[in-house]
């Protein structure tokens, strides 16, 4: 099917593979087309859609590699074969890239309609020892987070969307009890903000302000109104942005606000990060079971731990940079983090 004069039809099919320069937004179809045309990877208005007016103005079919890879198999084995797996509305299989807090990570191909529980526990092997799965982010950096108690629902396009996630790229990032969901949302929003093509004001400027609010919250300087402001900005950004990147970018924040609002509240009201992730909200102090070995004081990079033989060592919290080294090195578990 490749090359000149396919099956004697006089039609040619040539494949040329173009390597992108690494911009995330070039996963958006029109930005990708601009990029292949040699222009800056910026999304264009739709309509006209690429199917009508795409690469150099010609009708263009844009699909993921995974979709194209299915085509020869469907041609060879037939539609019924393809529909034999999956569900009636979501036929076939889907490849997920399983990562984060599961024992088995990597690419897995599963039938559509499998539940997240099956995916994460039966295939992923569940959370590492000593922790429990908290949530899974589906669909890539701008996907929403689905909490553990919703994971018995089947994985298909509609269900994921309803839950606030998405199929997207098939990314699946698993978080566990040691993950701070506010920090998690901040991380991914930081990524999409950085990768916005910079065209739309809401996407370019709005995600930046959301990010700053999240930084404030994880710094212990959040205000209660911040949660409303995040919801407001998220709504404006996803409703008014031109392309999928901007429209989806707030989703990690929106979904964590929906399912993990209590974590936001504890950062803001109690200035506590329950997962112990947000550095500014942590304090280290040395417990009475300190054997005054002095190891922490020697390892502290600042250094801000003082003490001498026979007494309990003390951390100067004004100077502590919350690196956690003392907590890690203490052979007696005498350095507590709260």
Partner 1 sequence: MSDVNLTINGIPVRVPTGSTLLQAAESISIRIPTLCYDKQLTVSGACRMCVVEVAGPAGSTRLEPACSYPVQEGMVVRTNTRELRDARRTIIELILANHPRACQTCIRNQRCDLQSACREYSIDKIRYEGEKRHHAIDTSSVAITRHPDYCILCGKCVKVCKEVQGVYALDFVRRGFSTTVLPPFDRDLAETVCVLCGQCLLKCPVAAIRDKSYLNKVEAALEDPNKIVTVQVAPSVRVTIGELFGLPPGVSLTRKLPTALRRIGFDYVFDTDFGADMAVMEEGHELIGRLQAGGPFPLITSCSPGWVKFMEHFYPEFIPNMSSAKSPQQIVGALTKTFFAERNRIDHKKLFNVSIMPCSAKKFEIQRPEHRLDDGTREVDAVLTTREFGDLLKLHEVDVPTLPDSEFDPILGDSTGAGLMFGVTGGMMEASLRTVASVLDPTSHPRLEYSALRGTGGIKRGSVLVGDRELKLAAAHGLANARKVLDSIKAGEEIHFLEVMACPGGCIGGGGQPLPTDEDSRRRRIEAMYAEDRGLPIRQSHKNPAIMTVYKEFLGEPNGEKAHHLLHTKYSARSPRGF
CB 201, min distance to partner 1, A:
5
CB neighbour list of residue 223: distance below 8 Å, 6 or more residues apart: 216, 268
Question: Cis (ω within 30 of 0) for the bond into 303?
Answer: yes
List binders of ligand SF4 among 293-312 (CB under 6 A). 300, 302, 304-305
Distance separating alpha carbons of residues 168 and 143, to the nearest angstrom:
7
> Applying CB under 6 A, does 275 fall inside the site for ligand SF4?
no
Among 196, 218, 238, 255, binds ligand SF4 (CB under 6 A): 196
Closer Cβ to partner 1, 13 or 201, answer by number: 201
215: Cα within 13 Å, side-chain hemisphere: 8
Cα angle 239, 142, 276; round to 5: 120
Per-residue contact flags (x/-) with ligand SF4 for residues 66 to 95, judged by CB under 6 A: ------------------------------
Q: Which of residues 37-56 bind partner 1 (CB under 8 A)?
A: 40, 42, 45, 47
**Is the CB of residue 274 less than 8 Å from the CB of residue 178?**
no
- Give the whole-angstrom CA distance, residue 146 versus residue 256: 8
Site string for partner 1, 223-242 (x = CB under 8 A): ---------xx--x--xxxx
**Residue 256, phi-psi category: left (phi > 0), alpha (psi -120 to 50), beta (remainder):** alpha
Based on its alpha-carbon atoms, the radius of gyration of the chain, rounded to whole angstroms, reads 25
What minimum distance in Å lies between the beta carbon of 236 and partner 1? 5
Give the nearer residue to partner 1 in terms of CB position, either 103 or 221: 221
- Residue closer to partner 1 by CB (options 195, 325) is 195
Which residues in this chain contact ligand SF4 in the complex, by CB under 6 A? 25, 43, 196-200, 203-204, 241-243, 245-246, 284, 300, 302, 304-305, 315, 320-326
């Amino acid at each position: 099917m490749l090359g000149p004069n396919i099956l004697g039809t006089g039609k040619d099919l040539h494949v040329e593979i173009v390597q992108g320069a690494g911009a995330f937004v070039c996963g958006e179809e029109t930005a990708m087309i601009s990029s292949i045309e040699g222009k800056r990877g910026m999304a264009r208005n739709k309509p006209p859609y690429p199917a009508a007016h795409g690469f150099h103005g010609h009708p263009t079919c844009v699909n993921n590699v995974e979709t194209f890879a299915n085509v020869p198999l469907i041609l060879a084995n037939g539609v019924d074969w393809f529909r034999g797996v999956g569900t009636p509305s979501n036929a076939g299989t889907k490849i997920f890239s399983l990562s984060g807090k599961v024992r088995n990570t990597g690419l897995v191909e599963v039938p559509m309609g499998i539940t997240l529980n099956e995916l994460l526990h039966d295939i992923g092997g569940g959370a590492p020892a000593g922790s429990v799965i908290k949530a899974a982010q589906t669909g890539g950096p701008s996907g929403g987070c689905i909490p553990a108690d919703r994971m018995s629902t089947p994985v298909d396009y509609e269900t994921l969307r309803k839950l606030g996630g998405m199929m997207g790229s098939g990314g699946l990032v698993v978080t566990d009890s040691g993950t701070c969901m506010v920090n998690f949302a901040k991380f991914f929003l930081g990524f999409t903000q950085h990768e916005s093509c910079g065209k739309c004001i809401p996407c370019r400027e709005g995600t930046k302000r959301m990010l700053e609010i999240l930084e404030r919250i994880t710094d212990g300087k959040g205000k209660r109104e911040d949660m409303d402001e995040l919801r407001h900005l998220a709504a404006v950004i996803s409703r008014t942005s031109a392309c999928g990147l901007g429209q989806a970018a707030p989703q990690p924040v929106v979904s964590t606000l929906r399912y993990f609002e209590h974590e936001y509240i504890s950062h803001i009201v109690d200035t506590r990060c329950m997962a112990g992730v947000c550095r500014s909200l942590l304090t280290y102090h040395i417990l009475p079971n300190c054997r005054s070995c002095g190891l922490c004081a020697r390892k502290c990079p600042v250094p801000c731990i003082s003490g001498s033989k026979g007494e309990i060592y003390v951390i100067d919290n004004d100077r502590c940079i919350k690196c956690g080294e003392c907590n890690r090195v203490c052979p007696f578990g005498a350095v507590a983090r709260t």
